[in-house]
Structure 1
Amino acid sequence: MRRLPPLNALKAFESVARHGSLARAAEELSVTPTAVGRHVRNLEDVLQVSLFEREGGALRLTQPGRRYAQSVAQAFGQIVEATDALRATPGRVRLAVHAYTTFLVRWLIPRLSSFHARHPEIELALSSGYDSVDFERDRVDVAVRYGHGRWAGLVATRLFEDELVAFGPPGTRDRLAADGPEAILRETFIIHQRRPQDWAEWLRTAGIEGRPQRKLEFDDLALVWQAVADGLGIGLTQRRYLAADIAAQRLEQISDTVLRRGRGYYAVCPAEAAMRPSVRAFLDWVAGEAAAAEH
């Protein structure tokens, strides 16, 4: 049997390589920084290779250390996946995905039959919420985030650009067009409380001066959608969320103005998780769906 390095030392090395810090690795492993440092030095002694360059209190992976860290992270990822598969339905792998509620309802869920057909061995567990996932604390494999696409330690797969459009019940566009652009200010504006400046920015982009006469506020974009669908006013949403409702003539885009702000929606996961086959399969699939929706 091949002799493996001490597993505790491997765990310590992988954690330090990922965090770039003895203290953060120690916190994750529930041991002292001294113990983590001792494990790493023990591993270097066993391997007869310097894995880190030490400059003062800073640690930086050597070239051999970087290659080894990638392989070790991949190996641990495969162990995690094998364990999840053992706990789940025989022959299947569980994959936890966290995203915004409206993203799930309006974009992801309608497409999931395609993923299930392509990967019947992967069981998805979906959760929703507005706050960002803490991958070190939460049992989540992939999350959807809004932003510029750069988050330390995470692999980000771009899905689509932030493009806000105004929408309302059928007939709203023609009614407003007959009275000129400023007529929109007489409508009831349905506002998402977490993004209160969206309407002001959209109005500036449209070249419309003034403030709406009436507002109705909600703390969840899913409720904004429901209020617009029930005819309570007009709202703002991602352009890509509207396609099915426009096709079914349930809702309509009421203006050609599109608010773009250089941000977007990304599927993100820790770098080591991206090497796992189930995570890679989901990221490739969801990126393909996003690209197909552009054509």
Structure 2
Amino acid sequence: MHRLPPLNALRAFEAVARQGTLTRAAEELHVTPTAVSRHIRNLEESLNVRLFDREGGQLLLTSHGKTYARTLARAFEMMGEATDLLSQASARTQITLRAFTTLLVRWMIPRLPDFQLKHPEVDLRLTTAFDAVDFERDKVDLGVRYGQGQWPGLHATRLFSDELVAVGNTAMRDRFADRPLAEALEASTLLVHTLHLDDWPDWFEAAGLEEVVAQNRQPFDDMSLIYQSALDGIGVGMMQRRYLTRDLAEGRLHLLAPAVLRRERGFYLVCRRETASNPAVQSFIKWIEDRRDD
């Protein structure tokens, strides 16, 4: 480690170099001019370098003094910035949310700039998951579960209920436009979520198409894969309408049928009941309640 002179002496020297006089430097440091002068003499003796020329009661930086002052000014600036960052970080409360990847990407993340703007004191960390949160296993403050909103020991806030629609890309839309809906569905590959095997049967019932039997089914265990497969024309996706607002508006995906499957089940923000009293968690829950229907 490098040998460093006393910090007070360095501060005194840097202040005099910047302010130009002992008096102004003393006022900045809240000490006497005599104390500042003593610090500078001790610093010069410690370094064995003359930092100031003393002419007619004035202090003029030597060439060594000018170089040293510039370097110290940058060093004190960096220390100040580091201190500010540390203070800001310590003033923020970190909470962690674990949620399904597609829900985060397609629904929550586009809304988060508003939360950051309204609650800069909260540092929200996100982790992705394929399965429902388990607070005995997962070291997180908040999670997302799918169901009817009733889990023992958990505080649940509804995000949105099921509104499932059949979607495809532009080429798929054109194929559906050329034939009756039932026939088009029978000739298509249905993209099936293996954790929600009742989605397609329930949607067929809601659409009055119980007799339809599709020729092909492609299983996936992640909704994000179904989304990408629908975009690429691999098949017909069954997806939450809440995930598709931008895609439908911009024409990347299209509704292939007017039927919408609405159920009481849906996605809920959950936490342990005792965690719900955490002020940062309360802020996030309140923000969700205000923004969930946007």
TM-score > 0.5, shorter chain as reference: yes
Which of 211, 227, 230 aligns to 2:229? It is 227
CA distance in 1, matches of 2:112, 2:281: 15
C-alpha RMSD over aligned residues: 1.9
Deviation at 1:277, TM superposition (A): 0.8
Deviation at 1:136, TM superposition (A): 3.6
Matched residues, number: 207
**Secondary structure in 2 matching 1:89:** helix
Mapped contact 2:172–2:233 kept (Cα < 8 A): no
Equivalent AA in structure 2 for residue 105 of structure 1: V
Where does structure 2 lack aligned partners over 5 or more consecutive residues? Answer: 1-85
Equivalent AA in structure 1 for residue 193 of structure 2: H
Deviation at 1:87, TM superposition (A): 11
Runs of 4+ with >6 A deviation: none
Map of 1:109 onto structure 2? 109
Which of 249, 259, 262 aligns to 2:264? It is 262
Mapped contact 1:242–1:252 kept (Cα < 8 A): no
CA distance in 2, matches of 1:194, 1:152: 22
**Secondary structure in 2 matching 1:196:** coil
CA distance in 1, matches of 2:137, 2:243: 30
Map of 1:197 onto structure 2? 198
CA distance in 2, matches of 1:215, 1:135: 34
Matched, 1:239 2:241: yes
Deviation at 1:243, TM superposition (A): 0.4
Equivalent AA in structure 2 for residue 185 of structure 1: E
- Deviations along 1:84-120, one digit per CA (max 9) or x if unpaired, are xx99922111110011111001100111111111111
Map of 1:176 onto structure 2? 176
Distance verdict in 2 for CA 1:231–1:171, change over 3 Å: closer
CA distance in 1, matches of 2:200, 2:136: 35
What pairs with 1:1-295 in structure 2 (closer than 5 Å)? Answer: 89-170=89-170, 172-173=172-173, 175-182=175-182, 183-208=184-209, 209-291=211-293, 293=294
CA distance in 2, matches of 1:158, 1:101: 18
Where does structure 1 lack aligned partners over 5 or more consecutive residues? Answer: 1-85
Mapped contact 1:173–1:255 kept (Cα < 8 A): no
Larger Rg: 2
Equivalent AA in structure 2 for residue 162 of structure 1: D
Map of 2:27 onto structure 1? none
**Secondary structure in 1 matching 2:292:** helix
| Higher mean C-alpha displacement, 272-281 vs 121-130 | 121-130
CA distance in 2, matches of 1:143, 1:98: 5
Mapped contact 1:88–1:94 kept (Cα < 8 A): no
